[in-house]
Amino acid sequence: MTQTVYTFGGGVKTDDPRAKDKTITGGKGANLTEMSEIGLPVPPGFTITTEECVRYLNEGADFSDDLRAQVREALGHIEATVGKTLGDASDPLLVSVRSGARVSMPGMMDTVLNLGLNDATVAGLAATSGDERFAWDSYRRFIQMYSDVVLGIDHGLFEEALEIAKEDKGLYADTEMEADDWKELVAEYKSIAEEELGRPFPQDVTEQLWGAIKAVFDSWDSDRAKVYRRLNDIPGDWGTAVNVQAMVFGNMGDSSATGVAFTRDPATGEKAYYGEWLVNAQGEDVVAGIRTPQYLTKAAREAANAKPLSMEEAMPEAYAQLADVFELLEKHYCDMQDIEFTVQQGKLWMLQTRSGKRTAKAALKMAVDMAGEGLIDEKTAILRVDPMALDQLLHPTLDPEAKRDVLTSGLPASPGAASGKIVLDADTAENWVARGEKVILVRVETSPEDIHGMHAAQGILTARGGMTSHAAVVARGMGRCCVSGASAVSIDMKARTLKIGSRDLKEGDTLTLDGGNGQVMAGEVATIEPELAGDFGVLMEWADRHRRMKVRTNAETPADCQMARQFGAEGIGLCRTEHMFFDAARISAVRQMILAEDEKGRREALAKLLPEQRADFKSIFEVMAGLPCTIRLLDPPLHEFLPHGDAEFEELANVTGYGVDHLKRRAGELHEFNPMLGHRGCRLGITFPEIYEMQARAIFEAACEVAKESGEPVVPEVMIPLVATGRELELLKALVDRVAQEVFADTACEVEYLVGTMIELPRAALMAGEIAEHAMFFSFGTNDLTQTTLGVSRDDSARFLAPYVDKGIFARDPFVSLDIEGVGQLVQMAAERGRATRGDIKLGICGEHGGDPASIQFCEETGLDYVSASPYRVPIARLAAAQAALR
């Protein structure tokens, strides 16, 4: 019999490592156990393991007798510790039933508070607490939450009933409701539940308990949890643990409170306690944005110019206890902690701690600061920062010099800047983004159902909710800019219009958000490029000290090359020459070349292109100043360059002197059924050698000119695409070498160069040993290698890849993160066979995967020499490469 239930609190200690293993008891359960073992005040409870959840979900939603027995025994532990019994009418124990997966999924799964209340126990609670109002307030909370989470009744019905009750009595805040008011409302709630359910609200506390456990297990497979998992790459087979814990009450009057806190500022990384709290309230009040929470510290309250007292001022003793806990937990976990607490009649209770989510900026600052404080070492600091999160910092920010038409300000809930068209609901956000718009999602407050719209949007603006509201937490996690609690925003959903302050706006109008200071502006505001300064620069330097692989960039314009160098690129891994062909000034020469009848016609057109290409390469070599540059010769199917529509054909007819009919016939002849597998890549060079000749000439002439002018070495690496056989490369290498010698002779200048190939066909990987006889380097073109190995077209896969990921067929989109199991084998094999033939063969990767941390880890393990990523991903790749080397 495996233990599936673990108790915590009440002074018990366990030596079973499973109890503190997040994969078994979930993050919440493991940390509650740990907190209570280091002596912090944690209400006693127990955790049902994630394994039990997985079993439950796989085996048809049934509880075993064994589980029931273990739960009964663990409940006994809570009852003995607290000295109260679940369902005891004279002195009832109340519990919370809380979800808790391996990693936190804010708001995605369910929790029920105040469980154990019914018509009999509510009287006992009133008697023992001496506070009738509190007892009935707790009961109405329980009925609403249990009905929503377990019974599936729309919570709007209860909210409406509460609003009407308050209106009838002329009350404004929930805290003004008296015992009798709540009593009346409970009667109403029960009849709502009965009407919806067709039977009375469950009074049996054991039924309540198992109902809640079941609901938490089931919530793992809710739609919103699935969407969240897909967005965050969380596997579907982890399951959630269930925590059942004795209730402590923040709603027992003015000496009671509840709150959430961070040991450092999660938005900026500042070493200052940060949090929000509410007097006389229960946990969900803070996060749900129903009441506007108060500041935790005096300094924060004063900085915000707010009136309601901070916890530091209103409850100095409980606050002092809390501050001690902050210090202790940071030292214990060596990381910033995100904490949930409740104060019951002056006494502090800890309800949760975890390493807090943070913005990229805060992650960098905390990592560098904590290393400085000696809390962690340099290696840990490097490993602490999620490389993908850096993406947030690598985008343009608002130009401080630009003019701002500020409509209002809210809370700076998640940093960054965003401009886009106003949309008022999540589905609209998704639809508009699908048709290519940038949008700002504007809501009164967000809920977990909005997550797909938040993901689609550039930024999020809410009228209600604090810095720890759902919108704020989720936006920070996603790296979306968010301004919350902008109370000057009022929305009319029917008319699909909104007012911000005195200004009338409508869905579709453009808005700009500044997540750094909370400003909301009309129209679009100019932006500036990011730079690697401050903590970012420091951490990058540390990363560079620890990485083995070089990081190059995929770039073909001097501007991109310049940007990539600023971001630390150490060369070009992929310069796609065809991008230069699309330029408006040259496309007609390209078309003339393609549509020419014979070699002579092609050579005439190529002669026009040569000086253009040479100029391109010159400017790239100049920017890259001595760094290696891998230039790929023409790759795509030729018909991609053909004219579209009659106007373009006519224009081309004028330039070339061919008739439109002739051109259309030639274009028709170039049609291919499956162009990705057609006349492209090195097949172009084999059939039309004059094309590759021109490109090679342009490269070497440019290299010689720059070498002469600058006196510095220039290092071209000529890359032949889509090779499947050694013979293809042998022929084309001979061509490149011949052109090189001609240019060197003509210019009386010589540069060092390499000729190599992309490995992007399964056959090339298999034949890598033979191909390496002619290749001085391999660059893994993993985009095409993935397409050709899986037999999946990247451009057509969107329709089925999401369901494939949902069903667990692929762990992640294989075009985003390398399919290590499958495609990875080919990469490994090719690397080995290539090295066996040519010991010093240079190996790199230039697909999209070169900027993906998991794929970079694989490249490190395979011993590649470099990865190549798009310019904005270069810092991500530098950090990921360092982490890979350290792991």
Binding stretches for Mg ion (CB under 5 A)? 340, 352, 760, 781, 784
Instruction: Report d(CA 451, CA 474) in Å as an integer.
Output: 8
Instruction: Report d(CA 86, CA 115) in Å as an integer.
Output: 9
* Least distance from ligand ADP to the Cβ atom of residue 87, Å: 17
Choose from ligand ADP, Mg ion, none: what does 247 bind? Cβ within 5-8 Å by kind. Answer: ligand ADP
Choose from Mg ion, ligand ADP, none: what does 784 bind? Cβ within 5-8 Å by kind. Answer: Mg ion
Among 118, 342, 446, 468, binds ligand ADP (CB under 6 A): 342
310 touches ligand ADP (CB under 6 A): no
Q: How is residue 519 written in tokens? A: 């400003």
Q: How is residue 521 written in tokens? A: 């502006």
- Taking the least distance from each CB to Mg ion, the nearer of 107 and 518 is 107
Choose from Mg ion, ligand ADP, none: what does 96 bind? Cβ within 5-8 Å by kind. Answer: ligand ADP
Choose from ligand ADP, Mg ion, none: what does 98 bind? Cβ within 5-8 Å by kind. Answer: ligand ADP
Q: Residue 233, by phi and psi: left (phi above 0), alpha (psi -120 to 50) or beta?
A: left
Kindly give, in sequence order, each residue whose CB lies less than 8 Å from that of residue 645, ignoring residues fewer than 6 positions away: none
* Least distance from ligand ADP to the Cβ atom of residue 228, Å: 12
Pairing type for strands 715-720 and 754-759 reads parallel
Q: Which of residues 79-138 bind ligand ADP (CB under 6 A)?
A: 96, 98, 107, 111, 113
Q: Which of residues 14-73 bind ligand ADP (CB under 6 A)?
A: 43
- Strand order of the β-sheet with 5-8 is 5-8, 45-48, 240-246, 95-101, 111-115
- Taking the least distance from each CB to ligand ADP, the nearer of 352 and 359 is 352
* Least distance from ligand ADP to the Cβ atom of residue 283, Å: 2
* Least distance from Mg ion to the Cβ atom of residue 352, Å: 5
Q: Which of residues 343-362 bind ligand ADP (CB under 6 A)?
A: 351-352
- Taking the least distance from each CB to ligand ADP, the nearer of 32 and 652 is 32
Q: Which residue has the tokens 């009667």?
A: 187
Pick the piece of the chain touching ligand ADP (CB under 6 A) from 246-254, 302-310, 531-539, 863-871. 246-254
Q: Which of residues 572-591 bind ligand ADP (CB under 6 A)?
A: none
284 touches ligand ADP (CB under 6 A): yes
Residues in contact with ligand ADP, counted by CB under 6 A, come to a total of 18
* Least distance from ligand ADP to the Cβ atom of residue 95, Å: 7
CB-based burial of residue 236 (10 Å sphere; 0-12 exposed, 13-18 middle, 19+ buried)? Answer: middle
Q: How far is CA 644 from CA 634, 636, 639, in A?
A: 21, 17, 10
Q: Which residue has the tokens 């971001």?
A: 567
Kindly give, in sequence order, each residue whose CB lies less than 8 Å from that of residue 512, ignoring residues fewer than 6 positions away: 398, 404, 417, 418, 419, 520, 521, 522, 523, 524, 525
- Taking the least distance from each CB to Mg ion, the nearer of 355 and 510 is 355
Q: How is residue 327 written in tokens? A: 């210090």
* Least distance from ligand ADP to the Cβ atom of residue 466, Å: 14
Kindly give, in sequence order, each residue whose CB lies less than 8 Å from that of residue 65, ignoring residues fewer than 6 positions away: none
E strand residue ranges, 3-42: 5-8
Choose the catalytic residue: 561, 575, 682, 846: 846
Name the residue number minimizing CB distance to Mg ion: 784
3-state class of 694 per DSSP?
helix
Q: What is the distance in angstroms between the CA of the first residue and the CA of the last residue of the chain? A: 36
- Taking the least distance from each CB to Mg ion, the nearer of 114 and 512 is 114
Instruction: Report d(CA 657, CA 660) in Å as an integer.
Output: 9
Instruction: Report d(CA 477, CA 232) in Å as an integer.
Output: 9
Kindly give, in sequence order, each residue whose CB lies less than 8 Å from that of residue 803, ignoring residues fewer than 6 positions away: none
Instruction: Report d(CA 558, CA 298) in Å as an integer.
Output: 52
Choose from Mg ion, ligand ADP, none: what does 351 bind? Cβ within 5-8 Å by kind. Answer: ligand ADP
764-801: b (≥16 Cβ within 10 Å) or e: bbebbbbbbebbbbbbbbbebbbbbbbebebeebeeeb
Pick the piece of the chain touching ligand ADP (CB under 6 A) from 239-247, 366-374, 606-614, 642-650. 239-247
- Asked if 718 and 575 touch (Cβ cutoff 8 Å), the reply is no
* Least distance from Mg ion to the Cβ atom of residue 613, Å: 20
- Beta-bridge partners for 95: 115, 246
- Taking the least distance from each CB to ligand ADP, the nearer of 99 and 554 is 99
Instruction: Report d(CA 491, CA 529) in Å as an integer.
Output: 34
Choose from Mg ion, ligand ADP, none: what does 360 bind? Cβ within 5-8 Å by kind. Answer: none
Choose from Mg ion, ligand ADP, none: what does 7 bind? Cβ within 5-8 Å by kind. Answer: none
* Least distance from ligand ADP to the Cβ atom of residue 273, Å: 17
- Taking the least distance from each CB to Mg ion, the nearer of 370 and 723 is 723
Q: How far is CA 494 from CA 58, 154, 369, 422, in A?
A: 44, 21, 49, 15
- Asked if 141 and 116 touch (Cβ cutoff 8 Å), the reply is no
Q: Tell me whether residue 846 is one of the annotated catalytic residues.
A: yes
- Taking the least distance from each CB to Mg ion, the nearer of 369 and 760 is 760
- Asked if 231 and 108 touch (Cβ cutoff 8 Å), the reply is no
Kindly give, in sequence order, each residue whose CB lies less than 8 Å from that of residue 622, ignoring residues fewer than 6 positions away: 558, 706, 710
Choose from Mg ion, ligand ADP, none: what does 268 bind? Cβ within 5-8 Å by kind. Answer: none
* Least distance from ligand ADP to the Cβ atom of residue 96, Å: 3
Pick the piece of the chain touching ligand ADP (CB under 6 A) from 241-249, 680-688, 697-705, 776-784. 241-249
* Least distance from Mg ion to the Cβ atom of residue 468, Å: 10
Choose from ligand ADP, Mg ion, none: what does 408 bind? Cβ within 5-8 Å by kind. Answer: none
* Least distance from ligand ADP to the Cβ atom of residue 258, Å: 5
Choose from ligand ADP, Mg ion, none: what does 342 bind? Cβ within 5-8 Å by kind. Answer: ligand ADP
248 touches ligand ADP (CB under 6 A): yes
Q: Residue 525, by phi and psi: left (phi above 0), alpha (psi -120 to 50) or beta?
A: beta
Pick the piece of the chain touching ligand ADP (CB under 6 A) from 242-250, 261-269, 385-393, 493-501. 242-250
- Taking the least distance from each CB to Mg ion, the nearer of 590 and 723 is 723
Instruction: Report d(CA 589, CA 581) in Å as an integer.
Output: 9
Name the residue number minimizing CB distance to ligand ADP: 283
* Least distance from ligand ADP to the Cβ atom of residue 352, Å: 5
258 touches ligand ADP (CB under 6 A): yes
- Taking the least distance from each CB to Mg ion, the nearer of 52 and 784 is 784
* Least distance from Mg ion to the Cβ atom of residue 713, Å: 29
Choose from Mg ion, ligand ADP, none: what does 414 bind? Cβ within 5-8 Å by kind. Answer: none
Choose the catalytic residue: 470, 481, 629, 849: 470
Instruction: Report d(CA 391, CA 705) in Å as an integer.
Output: 37
- Taking the least distance from each CB to ligand ADP, the nearer of 342 and 588 is 342
340 touches ligand ADP (CB under 6 A): yes
- Taking the least distance from each CB to ligand ADP, the nearer of 311 and 564 is 311
Instruction: Report d(CA 814, CA 816) in Å as an integer.
Output: 5
Single-letter amino acid code for the residue at 190: K
- Taking the least distance from each CB to Mg ion, the nearer of 157 and 242 is 242
- Asked if 550 and 573 touch (Cβ cutoff 8 Å), the reply is no
Among 245, 468, 577, 782, binds ligand ADP (CB under 6 A): 245
Q: Write out the catalytic residue numbers.
A: 470, 846
List of residues contacting ligand ADP (CB under 6 A): 43, 96, 98, 107, 111, 113, 245-248, 258, 282-284, 340, 342, 351-352
